[in-house]
Amino acid sequence: MNKRPILKSLIALTLASGLGLAQAQTTPIKFQLDWRFEGPGALFLVPVANGYFKDAKLDVTVDAGNGSGAAVVRVASGTYDLGFADLAALMEFHANNPDAPNKPVAIMMVYNNTPASVMALKKSGIKTPADLAGKKLGAPVFDAGRRAFPIFQKENNIGSVNWTAMDPPLRETMLVRGDVDAITGFTFTSLLNIEARGVKAEDVVVLQYPDYGVKLYGNAIIATPKILKENPEAVKAFLKAFTKGVKDVITNPVKAIETVKARDGIINTELEIRRLKLAIDTVINSPGARSEGFGQINGPRLSLMSSQVSDAFNTKTRVNPDAIWNGSFLPTAKELDILPKPKK
């Protein structure tokens, strides 16, 4: 009797079972971005491309999004394990859905301050927040800057304004055409989109919320309670690998954009490099982030934001800051120390 075929079968079976075991030890994680594949998306695509998630025994898929509100809902529904969303949108979901069984929780701060700003053309005569009184402002109804405008308005004693709603692709076009006097949007999104429509940067007035007394946090990584409870080690591994990737992005943003180009071949590479660098300089490696530490939050500041969002968004219940944030999955302080010192 020839034992070779039996031996080969046993070896094949052993290899197959070993492979199956290795695959079983890899945790799949579905991640929802807040927006389409643009410059800042490299923060999540680089750790995928560089194998950091894979090394951490994670199989991470990153999908484009269409707004922070939608990202929060998709994580809450369990369709996604983790996501990237504006903290104000997360707070609004919590306060308006107090009985929802799976309210997502923020586990790492990425944008230490809101990227929201009001932008106008210099020829409009708008120079300061006070000049916005009585003017026509435009933004999609779900825009983070528009939603938070009452906080900016109150902080700067701005009189009443008139709002015009539009789809996101029309926002900057309507400003350039003169259909509206000013718009709200993320600085690193709208400013570059205005330039892409033929307006020079020096001809745009940018009133960044953080520069005018609005201390809101921006985007954070959010997680479904299910994965936090059932696989805390995978969450910790994700944040550690992500942090490693962010350091690479900050060190070499030009190379980082290659990962975005791989996901969306029609992007304007030079524009997205500028967008990413602007995001790094304004909300990631900002003075606030260096002071509080990358990924972390300041308790009193979070409480203030909770109160401001409750008022500005007119939520059903008050936002509870303790229910929004869980920093227990963060890497060590040493591992989070990735932000370069400011250039002198």
Tokens of 176: 């350039």
Q: What is the helix, strand, coil percentage profile of the chain, to 5?
A: 55, 15, 30
Strand 27-32: give its sheet, edge to edge. 58-63, 27-32, 82-86, 219-223, 105-109
Q: Is 100 left (phi over 0), alpha (psi -120 to 50) or beta?
A: beta
- Sequence-separated contacts (24+) of 129-135 with Cβ below 8 Å: 129/156, 129/158, 129/207, 129/212, 130/156, 130/157, 130/158, 132/158, 132/159, 132/161, 132/181, 132/182, 133/158, 133/159, 133/160, 133/161, 134/159, 134/160, 134/161, 134/162, 135/161, 135/162, 135/181, 135/182
Residue position matching structure tokens 């227990």: 328
Beta bridge partners of 27: 58
Report which of 71, 115, 103, 70 is spatially closest to residue 281, judged by C-alpha positions: 115
* pLDDT tens digits in sequence order for the chain, 344 residues long: 555 656 566 555 555 555 554 455 899 999 999 999 999 999 999 999 999 999 999 999 999 998 899 999 999 999 999 999 999 999 999 999 999 999 999 999 999 999 999 999 999 999 999 999 999 999 999 888 999 999 999 999 999 999 999 999 999 999 999 999 999 999 999 999 999 999 999 999 999 999 999 999 999 999 999 999 999 999 999 999 999 999 999 999 999 999 999 999 999 999 999 999 999 999 999 999 999 999 999 999 999 999 999 999 999 999 999 999 999 999 999 999 999 987 76
Residue 25 has what pLDDT? 87
Q: What is the CA radius of gyration of the chain?
A: 22
Residue 56, judged by CB atoms within 10 A of its CB (0-12, 13-18, 19+), counts as buried
Instruction: For the chain, list the domains and their CATH numbers.
Output: 25-112+217-336 (3.40.190.10), 116-212 (3.40.190.10)
Distinct helix (H) and strand (E) counts, the chain: 17, 10
Distance CA 305, CA 247 (A): 28
DSSP H or E run through 199: none
Supply the pTM of this predicted model.
0.90
pLDDT at 21: 47
